[in-house]
A and B are shown apart, each in its own frame.
Chain A
Amino acid sequence: SIITANQRISKFKNKGKDPTKLREKRISVCVELRKAHKNESFLKRRNISLSSLQDEEAHSPSYISNEMVALLSIEDIVRDVNSDSRESQTRGCQAARKLLSQERNLPLKEIIDAGLLSRFVSFLSMDDEATLQFEAAWALTNIASGTSWHTQQVVEHGAVPAFIALLASPMLHISEQAVWALGNIAGDGAAYRDILIECNVVPALLAFLMLSSQVGYLRNLTWTLSNLCRNKNPFPPLSAVQQLLPSLIQLLHLNDKDILSDACWAISYLSEGDNERIDVVVKTGIVPRLVELMSHEELSVMTPALRSIGNIVSGSDLQTQTAIDAGVLKVLPQLMRHPKASTQKEAAWALSNIAAGPSRQIQQLITCGLLPALVEQLRNGDFKTQREAVWAVTNFTSGGAVEQVVNLVQSGALEAIIDLLQVKDAKVILVILEAINNIFLAAEKLGETEKLTLLVEELGGLDRIEMLQNHDNDLVYQAAHALIEKYFGDGEVVGVKVDSTDDSFVFMTSEPQGTFEF
């Protein structure tokens, strides 16, 4: 399965008036009903197919000559691989690799069931047989790119230490193959990732980082590093993160879009979660570069950069401030107007987190002209963007100073959220009602409750809120009812409960028991 945007914990900062009520609920569900969209992320496992090799020059080194490889049956392959002749072994390996590099219908299970994995793994350590070593590594890489079960077979045959050792191969293409295979294993999940880390994969990988300036190698390496940063429950150990962060930072300063993309994804994984994790990333000083990459022309770079910054501004006020200082508020408006709906949504999510900050950060948000973009999103964004934008309004109104809330209303946000009261989503409606209530609290402080009452009515809000008193969701009904009672009632207020006494009032006191002490 592929990780999607919603699989993160989108938790708001613990600041503001009522964190438990508004922000903690934003931990989003992990169950997804939606189709997973590829552009949201990238593959956690990759196999090497021949067509992909032919497409890109960097991936089709001269040492591969496909014409030479004969197409053999599984039985022939088994016979060859199990033979004692190096030549047959190589031929069998090549044939297996070729079967495993087809576009579809890969015979993964057949190869495994044929018991070839232990042979392949043993070939990995044959330093004097470079071709055999390479072909075996390739075959194993592609098997590891299958399902979890396939990866498990590869690992259980002892491939991990063999591949780590192979990293040190003097032949660049063999070392690269090992990087690739390890990437597939790391991408399987937290358990294998941690086994790799325990086997000291990180220093082994990084040892070759700067030796090679070959772009193809670096791309694979970055991808493998990002898979080592990925997955939670648990997150990767802090020591490993700290080991690989400096290299990631270096990679982030290169100019290749694939490297930048994977490095940004790595940062986005590392910045996901609680504030301590965010702190580790922020302390590297990479925030300004991430903000810069949010304007990158390639979607594949911009998307993870935006995600990383989105994660960072969900942290503490101080962490958020580093992103603000790096100019995130100047970049957000253009992303909020990005043609791609999912980008708009991510940008709105980031904004909603900044709006959950203290009043001085809200002020910066106003100064940088984010309100018009926000109101545009509320009016014209697609539903998911509107939902995040509504959260931004509610957070803004719960933490903003009175004048700031006035500013927001004047920008047209009140009108826009009132229009959204007809959306078909109970939670969004509830959040809007909360925002309206917050705006009323601000109006009360200004002594302008009545003015606001009229404004809400003029904008059609009264009708909508009245209708919501028939909503099937109890909390929505209650919130709507409370607003009507408090601000739009005719003064018919429910009575107060009175203690009842005997049927006549007899003025009588008992003598005081003990002494009075106030």
Chain B
Amino acid sequence: MELNDANLQSLTEFLRKTLDPDPTVRRPAEKFLESVEGNLNYPLLLLTMLEKSQDTVIRVCAAVTFKNYIKRNWRIVEDEPNKVSDQDRTAIKANIVNLMLSSPEQIQKQLSDAISIIGREDFPQKWPDLLTEMVTRFRSGDFHIINGVLRTAHSLFKRYRHEFKSNELWSEIKLVLDTFALPLTELFKATIELCQTHAADVNALKVLFSSLTLISKLFYSLNFQDLPEFFEDNMETWMTNFHGLLTLDNKLLQTNDEEEAGLLELLKSQICDNAALYAQKYDEEFQPYLPRFVTAIWNLLVSTGQEVKYDLLVSNAIQFLASVCERPHYKHLFEDQNTLTSICEKVIVPNMEFRSADEEAFEDNSEEYIRRDLEGSDIDTRRRAACDLVRGLCKFFEGPVTAIFSGYVSSMLGEYAKNPGENWKHKDAAIYLVTSLASKAQTQKHGITQANELVNLNEFFVNHILSDLKSPNVNEFPVLKADAIKYVMIFRSQLPKEQLLQAVPLLISHLQAESTVEHTYSAHALERLFTMRGPNNTTLITPAEMAPFTEQLLNNLFKALALPGSAENEYIMKAIMRSFSLLQESIVPYIPTLIGQLTHKLLLVSKNPSKPHFNHYLFESLCLSVRITCKANPTTVSSFEEALFPVITEILQNDVQEFLPYVFQVMSLLLEIHSNSIPSSYMALFPHLLQPVLWERTGNIPPLVRLLQAYLEKGGASIAGSAADKIPGLLGVFQKLIASKANDHQGFYLLNSIIEHMPPESIIQYRKQIFILLFQRLQSSKTTKFIKSFLVFINLYCVKYGAIALQEIFDSIQPKMFGMVLEKIIIPEVQKVSGPVEKKICAVGITKVLTECPSMMDTEYTKLWTPLLQALIGLFELPEDDSIPDDEHFVDIEDAPGYQTAFSQLAFAGKKEHDPIGDSVGNPKILLAQSLYKLSTACPGRVPSMLSTSLNAEALQFLQGYLQAATVQLV
């Protein structure tokens, strides 16, 4: 591409088209630009356009396009072609700084970004003169240009704040310091002087203060990794001026905006950060300056207003004090009683006040309010910072601070008592203060776990919290009600049980409050109380104690879901789940009504699932209803099916992906309750469950396998009879699953159920194929998990079909296969089998091979007889071998059988463990003894001689123990 007018013209047209709202115009233009961007001069054409075009829109568009082009293409990736010609690279670097500095702000920003992207790759080695070029501009005296340089420098240097120390990085920083530190310091001083000269010129001040903010940011980046020699030598200059700026105020710079931080606030915030950095990392050198900063920052806090625009500054400033006051050698700065009192009075208390912004959030943005207040996403808020300061001060001054605050708490409560309607915010602040003072450690699970012993929490509860909870009008003073509920919730582990019991009915009535925060907190508090553990690991609050309130609890919870804003309130749904779980059979009388409401809810949310937690607890609640009711009376399962099947069918038909794993679990739970037949309604669904599309989604696999297992258990014969044509499809699922290292164990679950429950004649024609598939997988990818599952399967097969059948099918696939599997897989690996049921299956299977398989006695397999017996005794007596080969450490550790969190598992749809052998074998060691005895009588003399010649002594001793226990003697 030539750098000529024609090309400029045509590119301009294409650029213009990329702004067209019509995609049929826009897309081709974008495509075209992409197709030509590899050409020589393309970036230079863009630069020319952004400099010279008459049309501002085109200039900005060219700048953005240029920046994106740099972002995509500048980096040279190893083994990939260089996407920007060297000629263009040189030309860009030679011109861009000038161009950036002479452009209007919109374009300057884009070019500044482009410079920092290029700088990230090329600076310093391939762009050695960048810094000197920038630094010379400091002398221009034009702050438009200077700010451009500073902004670019900031984007180049800010990575020093998070990158790891390395020689390369530090060499770069050193180079930057050598060229940049002195001019920056000179500029800093000059700018401050100019601020004084222009103290009355608001426009000049604005520009100068943005320079100062940028300079302060650069200071932070350059000082982050370590304290540079230059800055140590010039600490006096910097710190004195920072200190001066912190204490400076200029009416002209105050803004009217309540929300957005002004230039003064931004600058002071950054200075607080700089002081905090020095205090934390360069304590020794910074010590002489620190007390001055403490005083300045504290005065700043005292004189700063409540507006939102100051929030960042205030929380930064408080955090600075909080981090300093816990250091032993600065203790003295705070320990004076007057100092402490004034910090408490003027810094902490005002910042704990409930502000109008909080009130707005409480009313209009309750979700956000709850997230901040309950879930701790309040990191940057003033209240949080004030709390941290309280905690910091309590490290050394717990007694005095508690005493000072007690005074404030009483006076604030006194104010409230004088006129609650007017002064309710005083009580809110008092409660907040008590909470922050009392809580030393906290978890979601238990609330406050360690409290300040100087605060009497119970007394406060009785005197000030209970009254709000008992107030008959739940809609009056909702903020105070929410405070009271939260108090119960977070101090639940500290309050005596009788107080909690007293609170329960009160909390239940607050579920009806109109305020979303209030009824949400009630639901949450109840849910938390119900999870508390008492002695003997039972729940602290028993179903009997709840009996008088059960009906109202359930009523109010469900009514709360109808309140505006709470239709999908996850806290309420979780409380419903927890109530069901706590109350157990006491909910049975209410279920007929409740199940209707739950299924109705399910139908509604399935139209557009948007609250995953709500939905999860909804399904949990459904499962609990089914389990609790059917436990008492299994025949009621049909009424649940009647209620649920229409919704389930709709979910399946509409393919509501999020809900399918849940639906399969609910269906499994229902089907497993049936005694031994399978209703036709289920059979009608069977073919649909084999659809590949369902199995392509990972989350469906575990619940679908479980569901198919339930089908096989309850209806193996029905499938063989009326759906025999579906057997290949079922085996196809098995084949699909064992092809995956992640899902092979699920394939075995299915196969084991098929072997266990399908009539043998229905699968006889597929048996050989099944084994060939397993052998192929074993040949290609022999992972530990696969081998463990494989061992369980072949032994189950042996138990079910007999040892001879097992040996014959192996040997029919390949001569001597049985011996090879014994020698290479069973004997060396059986020790790895885990789980009591799995071990039992293997023990019984191997016993059969040892004692019921003639070829083990009379062929070349005989040499494997004693090693196999030895392996079996090892399985009985030795610890499990849980070693994993080195090359497998990163293979599906997540997917070990039994670890099933890879899908939305429902806790209350849990499946009981199935033992295919069951009671027919009580003690497998006795079975081994008896079976050996039987074998020995069939061929007298042979068994004892095989044992005495090659079984090791220890194993022999164990074996003799089994024989004695079974009171048999080998002959």
Residues of A within 8 A of B (CB): 28-36, 341, 380, 382-383, 422-427, 430, 454, 457-460, 463, 467, 471-473, 475-476, 491, 493-512, 515-518
B757-778 CB mask vs A (1 if < 8 Å, else 0) is 0000000001001001101101
Q: Are A382 and B901 in touch, CB under 8 angstroms?
A: no
Q: Are A35 and B232 in touch, CB under 8 angstroms?
A: yes
Residue B79 at the A interface, CB < 8 A?
no
Q: Are A29 and B165 in touch, CB under 8 angstroms?
A: yes
For the complex formed, measure the closest distance between the CB of B246 and the CB atoms of chain A, giving whole angstroms.
Answer: 20
Q: Are B226 and A33 in touch, CB under 8 angstroms?
A: yes
Task: Given the known inter-chain contacts A30-B167, A458-B450, A507-B731, please indicate yes or no for A516 contacting B778, CB distance below 8 A.
Answer: yes
**Which of B185-193, B399-407, B691-699, B855-863 makes up part of the contact surface?**
B691-699
A497's partner among B444, B739, B742, B778 (CB-CB below 8 A) is B742
Q: Once bound together, how far apart are the Cα atoms of A502 and B224, in whole Å? A: 56
Chain B residues 231 to 251 lying within 8 A of chain A, measured CB to CB, are 232-233
Q: Find chain A residues with CB under 8 A from B775 CB.
A: 512, 516
Most buried by B among A28, A430, A499: A499
Q: Find chain B residues with CB under 8 A from A496 CB.
A: 698, 742-743, 892, 894-895, 902
Q: Are A515 and B814 in touch, CB under 8 angstroms?
A: yes
Chain B residues 310 to 347 lying within 8 A of chain A, measured CB to CB, are 323, 327-329
Q: Which secondary structure dominates where chain A touches chain B?
A: loop
Q: Find chain A residues with CB under 8 A from B776 CB.
A: 509-510, 512
For the complex formed, measure the closest distance between the CB of B831 and the CB atoms of chain A, giving whole angstroms.
Answer: 17
For the complex formed, measure the closest distance between the CB of B779 and the CB atoms of chain A, giving whole angstroms.
Answer: 6
Q: Find chain A residues with CB under 8 A from B173 CB.
A: 33
Residue B267 at the A interface, CB < 8 A?
no
Q: Are B728 and A507 in touch, CB under 8 angstroms?
A: yes
- List 18 interface pairs A-B (beta carbons < 8 Å), by A numbering: A30-B167, A31-B170, A34-B228, A423-B280, A424-B277, A454-B446, A458-B441, A458-B450, A459-B441, A467-B379, A471-B162, A496-B743, A496-B894, A498-B742, A505-B729, A507-B729, A507-B731, A517-B779
Q: Are B825 and A516 in touch, CB under 8 angstroms?
A: no
B698's partner among A458, A473, A495, A516 (CB-CB below 8 A) is A495
Q: Are A518 and B820 in touch, CB under 8 angstroms?
A: yes
For the complex formed, measure the closest distance between the CB of A484 and the CB atoms of chain B, giving whole angstroms.
Answer: 13
Q: Once bound together, how far apart are the Cα atoms of A34 and B229, in whole Å? A: 5
Most buried by A among B165, B446, B696, B895: B165
Q: Are A498 and B696 in touch, CB under 8 angstroms?
A: yes
- 8 more CB-based (< 8 A) A-B contacts, given A33-B226, A383-B280: A33-B170, A35-B233, A423-B280, A430-B164, A503-B692, A505-B732, A508-B769, A512-B775
A383's partner among B283, B696, B740, B782 (CB-CB below 8 A) is B283
Q: Are B821 and A518 in touch, CB under 8 angstroms?
A: yes
Q: Find chain B residues with CB under 8 A from A476 CB.
A: 162
In this complex, how many residues of chain B approach chain A with their Cβ under 8 Å: the count is 85
Q: Find chain B residues with CB under 8 A from A454 CB.
A: 443, 445-446, 449
Q: Once bound together, how far apart are the Cα atoms of A141 and B610, in whole Å? A: 84
Task: Given the known inter-chain contacts A472-B162, A496-B743, A505-B729, please indicate yes or no for A424 contacting B766, CB distance below 8 A.
Answer: no
Q: Find chain B residues with CB under 8 A from A491 CB.
A: 901, 905
Q: Find chain B residues with CB under 8 A from A499 CB.
A: 739-740
Q: Once bound together, how far apart are the Cα atoms of A343 and B329, in whole Å? A: 18
For the complex formed, measure the closest distance between the CB of B436 and the CB atoms of chain A, giving whole angstroms.
Answer: 13
Residues of B within 8 A of A (CB): 159, 161-167, 170-171, 173-174, 177, 224-229, 232-233, 277, 280-284, 323, 327-329, 376, 379, 441-446, 449-450, 690, 692-693, 695-696, 698-699, 701, 728-736, 739-740, 742-743, 766, 769, 772-773, 775-776, 778-779, 782, 813-814, 817, 820-821, 824-825, 892, 894-895, 901-903, 905
Q: Once bound together, how far apart are the Cα atoms of A34 and B226, in whole Å? A: 7
Residue of B nearest to A383 (CB): B281
Q: Are B166 and A29 in touch, CB under 8 angstroms?
A: yes
For the complex formed, measure the closest distance between the CB of B787 and the CB atoms of chain A, giving whole angstroms.
Answer: 9
Q: Once bound together, how far apart are the Cα atoms of A36 and B228, in whole Å? A: 10
For the complex formed, measure the closest distance between the CB of B337 and the CB atoms of chain A, giving whole angstroms.
Answer: 24
Task: Given the known inter-chain contacts A423-B280, A458-B441, please indicate yes or no for A380 contacting B327, CB distance below 8 A.
Answer: yes
Q: Find chain B residues with CB under 8 A from A460 CB.
A: 441
Q: Are A426 and B163 in touch, CB under 8 angstroms?
A: yes
Most buried by A among B280, B814, B825: B280
Q: Find chain B residues with CB under 8 A from A502 CB.
A: 692
Q: Are A512 and B772 in touch, CB under 8 angstroms?
A: yes
Most buried by B among A30, A35, A36, A507: A507
Q: Once bound together, how far apart are the Cα atoms of A499 and B698, in whole Å? A: 10
Q: Once bound together, how far apart are the Cα atoms of A426 and B967, in whole Å? A: 69
Give the 4 A-B residue pairs with the shortest CB-CB distance, closest first: A505-B732, A458-B441, A507-B731, A495-B698
Q: Find chain B residues with CB under 8 A from A495 CB.
A: 698-699, 902-903
Q: Once bound together, how far apart are the Cα atoms of A236 and B78, in whole Å? A: 40
Q: Are B441 and A498 in touch, CB under 8 angstroms?
A: no
Q: Find chain A residues with CB under 8 A from B284 CB.
A: 341, 382
Q: Once bound together, how far apart are the Cα atoms of A508 and B731, in whole Å? A: 9
Q: Are B695 and A505 in touch, CB under 8 angstroms?
A: yes
Q: Once bound together, how far apart are the Cα atoms of A502 and B735, in whole Å? A: 12
Q: Find chain B residues with CB under 8 A from A457 CB.
A: 442-445
Q: Are B769 and A509 in touch, CB under 8 angstroms?
A: yes
Q: Once bound together, how far apart are the Cα atoms of A11 and B690, in whole Å? A: 59
For the complex formed, measure the closest distance between the CB of B494 and the CB atoms of chain A, giving whole angstroms.
Answer: 14
Residue of B nearest to A427 (CB): B164
For the complex formed, measure the closest distance between the CB of B771 and the CB atoms of chain A, giving whole angstroms.
Answer: 9
Task: Given the known inter-chain contacts A424-B224, A518-B779, please indicate yes or no for A29 contacting B232, CB distance below 8 A.
Answer: no
Q: Find chain B residues with CB under 8 A from A498 CB.
A: 695-696, 698, 701, 740, 742-743
Q: Find chain B residues with CB under 8 A from A507 CB.
A: 728-732, 734-735, 766, 769
Most buried by B among A476, A495, A511: A495
Residue of A nearest to B735 (CB): A507
Q: Find chain B residues with CB under 8 A from A30 CB.
A: 167
Residue of B nearest to A25 (CB): B164
Task: Given the known inter-chain contacts A498-B742, A518-B825, please indicate yes or no for A505 contacting B736, CB distance below 8 A.
Answer: yes
Q: Find chain B residues with CB under 8 A from A515 CB.
A: 814
For the complex formed, measure the closest distance between the CB of B525 and the CB atoms of chain A, giving whole angstroms.
Answer: 19
For the complex formed, measure the closest distance between the CB of A208 and the CB atoms of chain B, giving whole angstroms.
Answer: 41
Q: Once bound together, how far apart are the Cα atoms of A495 and B658, in whole Å? A: 13
Most buried by B among A467, A504, A516: A516
Q: Are B443 and A458 in touch, CB under 8 angstroms?
A: yes
Q: Once bound together, how far apart are the Cα atoms of A499 and B738, in whole Å? A: 10
For the complex formed, measure the closest distance between the CB of A420 and the CB atoms of chain B, giving whole angstroms.
Answer: 10
Q: Find chain A residues with CB under 8 A from B379 CB.
A: 463, 467
Q: Once bound together, how far apart are the Cα atoms of A460 and B449, in whole Å? A: 12
Q: Find chain B residues with CB under 8 A from A505 CB.
A: 690, 692, 695, 729, 732-733, 735-736
Q: Are B779 and A516 in touch, CB under 8 angstroms?
A: yes
A33's partner among B174, B445, B446, B693 (CB-CB below 8 A) is B174
Q: Once bound together, how far apart are the Cα atoms of A517 and B442, in whole Å? A: 59
Q: Are B814 and A516 in touch, CB under 8 angstroms?
A: yes
Q: Once bound together, how far apart are the Cα atoms of A496 and B741, in whole Å? A: 10
Residue of A nearest to B690 (CB): A505
Residue of A nearest to B698 (CB): A495
Q: Find chain A residues with CB under 8 A from B824 CB.
A: 518
Q: Find chain A residues with CB under 8 A from B327 CB.
A: 380
Q: Once bound together, how far apart are the Cα atoms of A467 and B742, in whole Å? A: 33
Q: Once bound together, how far apart are the Cα atoms of A509 and B738, in whole Å? A: 13
Q: Once bound together, how far apart are the Cα atoms of A475 and B163, in whole Å? A: 10
For the complex formed, measure the closest distance between the CB of A5 and the CB atoms of chain B, giving whole angstroms.
Answer: 13
Q: Find chain A residues with CB under 8 A from B696 CB.
A: 498, 500
Q: Once bound together, how far apart are the Cα atoms of A507 and B773, in whole Å? A: 10
Residue of A nearest to B699 (CB): A495
For the complex formed, measure the closest distance between the CB of A46 and the CB atoms of chain B, giving whole angstroms.
Answer: 23
A34's partner among B164, B227, B729 (CB-CB below 8 A) is B227
Q: Once bound together, how far apart are the Cα atoms of A517 and B813, in whole Å? A: 13
Q: Are B732 and A425 in touch, CB under 8 angstroms?
A: no
Task: Given the known inter-chain contacts A34-B226, A473-B164, A512-B813, please indicate yes or no for A504 contacting B692, CB distance below 8 A.
Answer: yes
Q: Find chain A residues with CB under 8 A from B778 CB.
A: 516, 518
Q: Once bound together, how far apart are the Cα atoms of A360 and B728, in whole Å? A: 61
